[in-house]
Each structure stands twice: as C-alpha cells, then as structure tokens.
C-alpha cells in the first residue's frame, strides 16, 4: 500500500525550494540552524586562523620570490579571502544568494540607466578634471601595483561599509504590517497560496504580525542579497568609467604630455599598442575605483533611484515575508 505523503511536509518543502531559488536560504529553518552552528565562535576562530596562516605564508613567499614587499600585501589579502569566500559558498549557502543577486542586477539595469544619466554628468565633470591633473598622474604612477590594488580595495571596503549602514534602513518596513488580507495577497501565485488562505482564517492578525518579523540570520540574508546586487551595479559603472578613461587617455594624452607630467617617458602596457601605457592604466584604475565609491554614495542617497529600485524590490520582499509567515504557520 503506497504511503501518502504528509501535505504539510510537501508544502514546507515546496516553500523551501521557493526561498532558495530567490536567494533566501536562511528563511529555511533547517538551513538557518545549520548556518548558525557553522558561525559558532569555535568555527570562526578556526577559519580566521586558517586565513591568517594562508595570508602570512603567501606574504612571506611573495616577498621572498619577488623581493618586493608591496605586492606581498595584496597577495596576502587575496590569499586570505580565498578560504573565507570558499567557506561562505560551501558552508553558508552564499551561492544561492549570489545567483539571485546577479539575476536581480541584470533584470534591474533599466533602473540603473536613469540614475547614471543623472549622476554621470557631474561625476564625469569632476573625474575628468582629475584625469588631466598632473598630481593625480604623479600619485597614481608612483604607486606600485600592489599598493594601487590595496587602495582600490580600500575604496571598495568604504563603499561596502556605507551600504551596510544604509541598506538595513530600507528593510525596516518589510515586516511592519501583516494582516490576513495582506497575507493572502502576498502569497498569490506561490506554492503556499492555498495554505495562506487557511492560515489567514485560523490565525489572528497579531499572531501573523509576530510570525512575519524578520530578524537575525533571515534579515542578514536580505541585507547580503541587496548588498551583492548594489555592489554589482557599482562594479558595472566602475568598469564603464575605466573603459572611458582608457579611450580618452589613449586619444587625448600623448607620450610627450605624460613625459612632461611625470619627468620620464611612459611605459607601454603591451608592445603592439603603445598608446596604452602602464601609467594610463594605473590612473584609469584609481579614478574608476573612486567613481565607484562616488556612485555608491549617490545611489543610496538619491530619493528617485531609491524609490524606483526599492519600490519594485519591496514587492518581492513582501511576498517573501508573506510566504515565510505561512511557512512558519506550518511548523
């Protein structure tokens, strides 16, 4: 005699697949419990020890091999990040969050274009002035490659820190209101649409609001997903600015000008394309990183962009919170 599957278990499993496909693995109870264990102090200390050991060994090896301490700093930072990123993807389910964020980034490029048209003119005016400034070329060309990339990572760290401060503020309203009517509307077209009707009929609004609260790792999941999505947008703009500087520099700034600014001839980046020089690449990299930081600040400060980007996103988040509320009712 065939065993009839438990309807509650079937609905919960369907909801869990729905969460993971939308970059919300921490909305799943079992996953959240496992991740909490993997974020214990003992495991984090062990991970930090491994990262520190890898960084130290890489720094010493690089300094000995290249006889250059500046490059050892960059390689140590990159080497330390490898076990951290690997642990995040393998043990903390960061892969599903990253996949959703990448898809969200490219699906919302239409919202990025109006923002770029507003932010880019002032940004181009400012950074173009810096681009033809002698001191900027002198500073950028004097930096070793390792130091330059450490400066780029510093710009990126400041941008991420700014996003981590502002993004949670955008999520404050996602779980402020929950009623039976809103629950049914939020879950329409999801695996728990029929269960939402039953849950709304059996559970009072006060209890629904309590179960709708997103805290701890679940809220961290939302913040990280938004952070990756915003960071990818900033990266795309920075790459566009980097390309612009390379083209503009190759066309407008010849070797005689660079020599008069730096006091020595420029060095071709590739022999078959002499107008692309090491000095130009360094300046373009430095200013592109600065442009990314500027764009980050502008993006989270511009009310029009925030209302458009987070307006469409909030609909998805309210739906996710609604499904999670029903999911918790099934527990």
Burial classification of residue 209, based on how many CB atoms lie within 10 Å of its CB (0-12 exposed, 13-18 middle, 19 or more buried): middle
In a domain, residue 174? The reply is yes
pLDDT band for 126, please (50, 70, 90 cuts): confident
Q: Is the pLDDT of residue 157 over 50?
A: yes
Can you tell me the mean pLDDT for 318-323?
A: 90
Closest to 96 in 3D by CA, of 147, 25, 163, 33 = 25
- Domain count across the chain: 1
- Give the pLDDT score at 67: 66
- Give the pLDDT score at 256: 86
Q: Is the pLDDT of residue 183 over 70?
A: yes
Strand partners, 277: 268
Q: Is the pLDDT of residue 5 over 80?
A: no
SS3 277: strand
What span, in angstroms and rounded, lies between the C-alpha atoms of 102 and 230?
10
In a domain, residue 85? The reply is no
Average pLDDT, the chain: 85
Higher pLDDT: 169 or 85? It is: 85
Question: In sequence order, what DSSP letters do the residues of 58-90 get, joined into one string?
Answer: HHHHHHHHHS-HHHHHHHHHHHHHHHHHHHHHH
pLDDT digits 0-9 by tens, 187-209: 998 999 999 999 988 888 888 88
Structure token pair of residue 78: 């990159």
Least confident of 89-98, 135-144, 267-276: 267-276
Considering the entire predicted model, what is its pTM?
Answer: 0.84
In a domain, residue 7? The reply is no
Structure token pair of residue 200: 């709304």
Q: Enter the DSSP assignment of 272.
A: T
**239, 43 Cβ separation under 8 angstroms:** no
Name 15's Cβ contacts closer than 8 Å, sequence gap at least 6: 190, 191, 192, 323, 324, 326, 327, 330
Can you tell me the mean pLDDT for 167-175?
A: 80
- Give the pLDDT score at 1: 41
In a domain, residue 204? The reply is yes
At 277, give phi and psi (nearest 5°). -110, 160
What span, in angstroms and rounded, lies between the C-alpha atoms of 274 and 268?
5
What span, in angstroms and rounded, lies between the C-alpha atoms of 250 and 58?
36
pLDDT band for 50, please (50, 70, 90 cuts): very high
**103, 74 Cβ separation under 8 angstroms:** no
In a domain, residue 239? The reply is yes
In a domain, residue 182? The reply is yes
- Give the pLDDT score at 4: 60
In a domain, residue 295? The reply is yes
pLDDT band for 29, please (50, 70, 90 cuts): very high
What span, in angstroms and rounded, lies between the C-alpha atoms of 72 and 158?
22
Q: Is the pLDDT of residue 141 over 80?
A: yes
What span, in angstroms and rounded, lies between the C-alpha atoms of 23 and 21?
6
Can you tell me the mean pLDDT for 258-271?
A: 83
**238, 288 Cβ separation under 8 angstroms:** yes
- Give the pLDDT score at 13: 92
In a domain, residue 58? The reply is no
Q: Is the pLDDT of residue 3 over 70?
A: no
- Give the pLDDT score at 119: 67
- The phi-psi region of residue 86 (left if phi > 0; otherwise alpha if psi is between -120 and 50; otherwise beta) is alpha
Q: Enter the DSSP assignment of 179.
A: -
Can you tell me the mean pLDDT for 249-270?
A: 84
Q: Is the pLDDT of residue 292 over 80?
A: yes
Range of the structural domain that residue 278 is part of: 96-329
SS3 268: strand
Question: In sequence order, what DSSP letters do the residues of 199-241 get, joined into one string?
Answer: HHHHS-HHHHHHHH---HHHHHHHHHHHHHHHHHHHHHHHHHH
């Amino acid at each position: 005699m065939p065993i009839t599957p438990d309807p509650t278990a079937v609905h919960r499993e369907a909801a869990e697949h729905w969460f993971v496909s939308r970059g919300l693995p921490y909305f799943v109870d079992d996953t959240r419990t496992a991740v909490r264990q993997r974020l214990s102090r003992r495991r984090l200390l062990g991970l930090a020890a491994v990262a520190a050991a890898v960084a130290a060994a890489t720094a010493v090896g690089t300094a000995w091999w290249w006889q250059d301490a500046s490059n050892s700093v960059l390689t140590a930072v990159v080497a330390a990040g490898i076990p951290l990123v690997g642990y995040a993807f393998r043990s903390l389910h960061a892969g599903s969050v990253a996949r959703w964020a990448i898809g969200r980034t490219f699906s919302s490029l239409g919202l990025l274009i109006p923002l770029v048209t507003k932010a880019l003119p002032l940004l181009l005016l400012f950074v173009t002035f810096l681009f033809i400034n002698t001191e900027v070329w002198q500073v950028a060309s004097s930096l070793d490659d390792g130091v330059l990339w450490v400066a780029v990572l510093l710009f990126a760290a400041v941008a991420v820190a700014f996003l981590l401060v502002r993004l949670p503020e955008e999520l404050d309203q996602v779980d402020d209101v929950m009623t039976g009517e809103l629950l049914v509307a939020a879950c329409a077209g999801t695996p728990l649409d029929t269960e939402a009707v039953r849950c709304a009929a059996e559970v009072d609004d006060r209890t629904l609001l309590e179960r709708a609260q997103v805290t701890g790792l679940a809220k961290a999941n939302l913040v990280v997903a938004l952070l990756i999505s915003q960071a990818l947008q900033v990266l795309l703009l920075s790459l566009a600015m980097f390309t612009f500087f390379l083209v503009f520099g190759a066309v407008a700034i010849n070797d005689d000008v660079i020599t008069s600014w730096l006091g020595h001839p420029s060095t071709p980046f590739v022999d078959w394309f002499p107008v692309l020089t090491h000095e130009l690449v360094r300046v373009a990299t430095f200013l592109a990183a600065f442009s990314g930081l500027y764009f980050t600040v502008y993006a989270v400060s511009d009310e029009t962009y925030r209302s458009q980007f987070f307006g469409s996103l909030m609909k998805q988040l309210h739906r996710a919170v609604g499904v999670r509320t029903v999911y918790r009712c099934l527990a």
